[in-house]
Structure 1
């Protein structure tokens, strides 16, 4: 199983098929953004339906991240850790555009967001169970 990963405004793109490749790529992106804005990374699973099956996470922030999933039917949800309070607002790089992260959407640690990304890869795009989900209506 292979997924595509993209970040920044043309900064990078890769196809990954192992957890080791995913971890190495996320580490590289995180190091590159340590002194810049944290960065939204998009993982896209092959196939799907009318909508691309994707997972967005944030890397490069010292404390927080976010997790956002879109399923093949177009339904989407924000991931969160039930025991984690909303974090402080911060700005991140979304495809080259500085974007504010809403505190209620940053109820995920970096480690948990990365675990969700690993589950997304291994499962072929299913919604990860590393976090609880709030469905977008």
Structure 2
């Protein structure tokens, strides 16, 4: 499967179909934002449905990330690591807009966010099993 990746306000877009391509794209984005705000990156899987199937992760923060997913049925959920305390408050770039990350949403390490992104790619946009999920009501 191939997924599209977008970040910033028109700053960038890529299409990837392998884990290596995904890792390279996320590394490039992370390095580009090393001296800027961390960045929300959106991975979009082909869905053929009414709702885009997507996964948001944060790249570029020294310690933490967040993971948010929208499924083919339009349901959404925040991913978290049950054994990880809420993270620090920090500001990230969300489509060109500085946005605060809530500590309860940053209960994800960078490595686990990457693992979730890889699972999203390799499992046809399904909700990654690398995390527990809080469904948004």
TM over 0.5, shorter chain: yes
* Distance in 1 between residues matched to 2:63 and 2:10, nearest whole Å: 26
Q: Deviations over 1:26-53 (max 9, x none)?
A: 0000011111000000000012421100
| Count of residue pairs the alignment pairs up | 137
In the superposition, the TM-score normalised over structure 2's length comes to: 0.99
Q: CA RMSD in A?
A: 0.6
Instruction: Please list every run of 5 or more consecutive structure 1 residues that lacks an aligned counterpart in the other structure.
Output: none
Runs of 4+ aligned structure 1 residues displaced above 3 Å come to none
In the superposition, the TM-score normalised over structure 1's length comes to: 0.99
Query: Tell me, what secondary structure is at the counterpart of 2:69?
Result: strand
Instruction: Please list every run of 5 or more consecutive structure 2 residues that lacks an aligned counterpart in the other structure.
Output: none
* Distance in 2 between residues matched to 1:26 and 1:48, nearest whole Å: 25
Corresponding residue for residue 110 of structure 2: 110
* Distance in 2 between residues matched to 1:64 and 1:34, nearest whole Å: 14
Aligned 1:97-136 pairs, distance under 5 A: 97-136=97-136
* Distance in 2 between residues matched to 1:100 and 1:30, nearest whole Å: 18
Q: Would you say 1:78 and 2:84 are equivalent positions?
A: no
Deviates more, 1:47-56 or 1:123-132: 47-56
Query: Tell me, what secondary structure is at the counterpart of 2:68?
Result: strand
* Distance in 1 between residues matched to 2:42 and 2:48, nearest whole Å: 16
